[in-house]
Structure 1
């Protein structure tokens, strides 16, 4: 009896609280153990062990995105905020200066208006208008008489020959001008009300340009360090005597290559490339690898092997670079017998857009383009035989760099940094030369020993703001920092 009362009480209590008499036991969907914590919105339940494994997997996949947010997005937003604060401080001063100029212009216009009103002679204007009206009246009377006479002849003419004989004596051009003058309406005076807005439009010449999308100014974000700092050194065991390095702008990893293979820094497998040049690979803004294979074809996506540019004819690619500004491909090319060379700009789809081969005097610009890159001001930088050739976006020569007069230059890898500086690897002086955007030598950033064979490859990492330098004989990539973020970004 007591059990019946207890069941009845539980049933009534459940009805009052709108609860079901059934309950669900949460089990792990993978090991079928009971779970201590669960989420009602998740599609499957997992125990602590598998939750930790899933967390590590998601964290590894999101590491590149998190690194990009920490390294680029947050500092960029802080720098943009700093720029806006500076502009807000400058706006009141600009408005005051503009208001003073506007007040001065208004007073000048008021003075000119008074002077014109005083010097205005109404009688003279009246005489000129009356004279103009009489001239128009006389001209209209003469034109009416001529037209009336023409109409009378056309009616009284006995045959068409007589009418044509009359019109032959008329001056055709004068007759046509007369008709055009009659169709024209001359307005001598038009009454118009001048409003306050009309005066403001005449006085206001200030243009307000609001940018649609703000980009942080590099000079507010980065500062040069007094000394070069070696951050780390990373081994790439599957590549020997490397000659080129390309940094991935998405996750910060890099690709290193010798004359036969190319390898990614965080993976073990390698790709085979041709022995055609030096700077034979690049990375797009989306992190996709583009390289030159053994058949001189330019390949995109190492897994699907999409042929972007099929190398046919006498021109063969030697180096390649993907522009982060436009997404275009800059390809240094040379003939098979190396008698001519050029730089060709392709769209991301593989369609040729521009070819740079000669200067204004039809002299050849290049002999053997080994490396090519692009600066943020649009300049195209090519590492050639014993010279670094720099042209603008249209192909006009800006400057050449040949090193010191005594020692010369044997340039290899080239890259640029956000401050528009140009970094050149020189195998003759065994150092990395830093030039400004106009070709002036700023400093020798890195100096190797005289008996060394490096450096050969150099690349700039946009995420961490470091340079990656690769020698020739060893299999290590050295990561250096010479630019640091401004203090307010740290």
Structure 2
């Protein structure tokens, strides 16, 4: 089938030539008989043989045929840096990035939340967003969800005209960073006990999952040993396999599965590849389930796989990196955007390409 598809793609605009090619050089058919098939094809097939085969057929729910991403894409040997730079007007620095479309993204800098396009033009801005980092996300409808200065979680309509409160703060728990899961339509909120309370402890940090009707359905807070999972989280995201990925300044990148069970903690690259103190900040995930993260102190962009195995350092200070903070992944074009803690410049690079036969 792949050979037919490849030939068709090469001759899609020449159907007659394609049909002639198929007639002259047909794809060789290979018939493999399974061990559990009892029919003898060297003699006449009886009706009972056919019936015996038919009753073994299991009906499964029909689904859309698709090729898994690991067959469609592959990692480049080295990231192609500096595809372009985007300077966002009125932006102090790129603290966090949330994509609406490939040409529309929200960027925050602690002072304001700006909707910009791929050219850096301001399309809209909000001044009531929280000053912290991972405080906004975009849902499947393209609506902005963000934490305001009063620690309420609000939603802004796609046309930027209607604002509503989704989750109102009612106690001393503050939403610290948020993420919308496109697959489950859930909203994951990293909650932290009021930081103005001097009695704050390590256990005063937790992830709450809200379903599409904004009902809390899950709490992730402790390791299976009973110890707290999180200490000082700054960003949260959800991988395509359902894993909850949190960047914790002092703990590292903490990953739990869909049910909230601890999987692993990434605490930096292997010995000999370190560029300084590892302090994870911005995080995002790509189409291959890899986790990309920015190290603010060592000024690197690093990549690990879904199981926490170090893959590569995509960029360093020598590449022009200046305190990388926010990371965002353009799902349509498979580009990674990162913001700096020192400038209004957003950098764009590519680390994935489509396989040649499907390019």
Match for residue 116 of structure 2? 265
Match for residue 265 of structure 2? 400
Structure with greater Cα Rg: 1
Match for residue 167 of structure 1? none
Match for residue 71 of structure 2? 220
Q: SS of the counterpart of 2:33?
A: helix
C-alpha distance in 1, partners of 2:338/2:294?
Answer: 9
Contact 2:94 2:345 in 1 (8 A): no
Q: SS of the counterpart of 1:220?
A: helix
Tell me if 1:364 matches 2:233: no
Match for residue 464 of structure 1? 333
C-alpha distance in 2, partners of 1:101/1:269?
Answer: 64
Match for residue 97 of structure 1? 33
Q: Per chain length, whose mean CA-contact separation is higher, i.e. which structure has more relative contact order (CA < 8 Å, sep 6+)?
A: 2
Stretch moving more, 198-207 or 452-461: 198-207
- Cα offset, 1:215, TM superposition: 3.1
Match for residue 190 of structure 2? 332
Match of 2:145 among 264, 287, 290: 290
C-alpha distance in 2, partners of 1:251/1:413?
Answer: 19
Counterparts of 1:421-440 in structure 2, within 5 Å, are: 421-440=290-309
- Cα offset, 1:203, TM superposition: 8.6
Q: Which runs of 5+ in 2 are unaligned?
A: 10-25, 41-45
- Cα offset, 1:275, TM superposition: 4.0
Match for residue 321 of structure 1? 179
C-alpha distance in 2, partners of 1:419/1:235?
Answer: 29
Give CA-to-partner distance per residue, 1:26-46, whole Å, 9 cap, x none: xxxxxxxxxxxxxxxxxxxxx
Counterparts of 1:170-249 in structure 2, within 5 Å, are: 200-201=51-52, 205-207=56-58, 209=60, 211-229=62-80, 230-248=82-100
Tell me if 1:279 matches 2:134: yes
C-alpha distance in 2, partners of 1:330/1:205?
Answer: 43
Give CA-to-partner distance per residue, 1:74-109, whole Å, 9 cap, x none: xxxx89x99xxxxxx99x75x6413773238xxxxx
- Cα offset, 1:254, TM superposition: 1.1
Q: SS of the counterpart of 1:219?
A: helix
Match for residue 344 of structure 1? 208
- Cα offset, 1:347, TM superposition: 1.5
Tell me if 1:384 matches 2:236: no
Match for residue 373 of structure 1? 237
C-alpha distance in 2, partners of 1:400/1:325?
Answer: 24
Contact 2:102 2:330 in 1 (8 A): no
Stretch moving more, 451-460 or 206-215: 206-215
- Cα offset, 1:452, TM superposition: 6.1
C-alpha distance in 2, partners of 1:276/1:479?
Answer: 24
Classify 1:328/1:271 alpha carbon distance in 2 versus 1 (closer, same or farther; 3 Å): same
Classify 1:476/1:359 alpha carbon distance in 2 versus 1 (closer, same or farther; 3 Å): same
Aligned residues: 315
Q: SS of the counterpart of 2:39?
A: helix
C-alpha distance in 1, partners of 2:194/2:318?
Answer: 35
Give CA-to-partner distance per residue, 1:110-149, whole Å, 9 cap, x none: xxxxxxxxxxxxxxxxxxxxxxxxxxxxxxxxxxxxxxxx
Higher helix share: 1
Contact 2:243 2:255 in 1 (8 A): yes
Classify 1:101/1:273 alpha carbon distance in 2 versus 1 (closer, same or farther; 3 Å): same
Give CA-to-partner distance per residue, 1:443-484, whole Å, 9 cap, x none: 001112499641101111011110001111110111111111
Q: SS of the counterpart of 1:98?
A: coil
Root mean square deviation of aligned Cα: 3.0
